[in-house]
Amino acid sequence: MDVKTLCLGLLTVQEACGYDLKKTFESSFKHFFPAGYGSIYPALADLAAAGLVSCREIPQIGKPDRKVYRITEAGEKAFIQSLNRTDPQHKLRSEFLAMIYFSDRIDDERLADLLDDRVEKLRESIRHIERISQQHEGDSSAGADFVAGFGTVVAEAAARYIESNRHLLTQTKDMDTDIHINAATG
């Protein structure tokens, strides 16, 4: 699934401008599908060119006209088709995990900071999801509630894993040091 498809999906709920869509990506989608203006506005332009959304301009004083997008009937059909034919992937791209893979080359203080920072970011993600869920309590869909719960569980599990297993990284370093010392003296 791509940003275009998600924009179509969001426009099935209500019409919106690019700023409104970005706010949704920053709030409800933040923990699983981030997108910024650099992908949202080109997606909207492509969708409009394909006739999947319509756009009306609202004049603003001292600012450029505000473009408000609405999904068309063709856009609704395209969105439903995409939902029914997409083989969803669950991808994880993590600079944190890439760095930790090479933890034996990171000094102990930096490693501790990386682990502590990641746990704090996971806890902040949980707080963020809870805030968004509370703001939409009673008016969110079952799917939105499921996604929020999934995000919370994944973040909690990751934080617990780091806290419970960080010793594995320091033990590995201690063993590597022992091997190097034994090799030098042996």
The residue ranges of every structural domain in the chain are: 3-85, 95-185
Torsion angle, CA of 126/31/147/45, rounded to 10 degrees? 150
Return the pLDDT at 23: 92
Return the pLDDT at 28: 85
Higher pLDDT, 103 or 174: 103
CATH number of 3-85: 1.10.10.10
Residue 2, CA distances (Å) to 11, 67, 87 in order? 14, 21, 12
Which parts of the chain fold into alpha helices (H)? Answer: 3-13, 18-27, 37-49, 73-85, 95-101, 108-135, 142-185
Residue 37 has pLDDT above 60, yes or no: yes
CB 34 within 8 A of CB 9: no
- The model's pLDDT over 13-22, given as tens digits with 9 standing for 90+, comes to 999 999 999 9
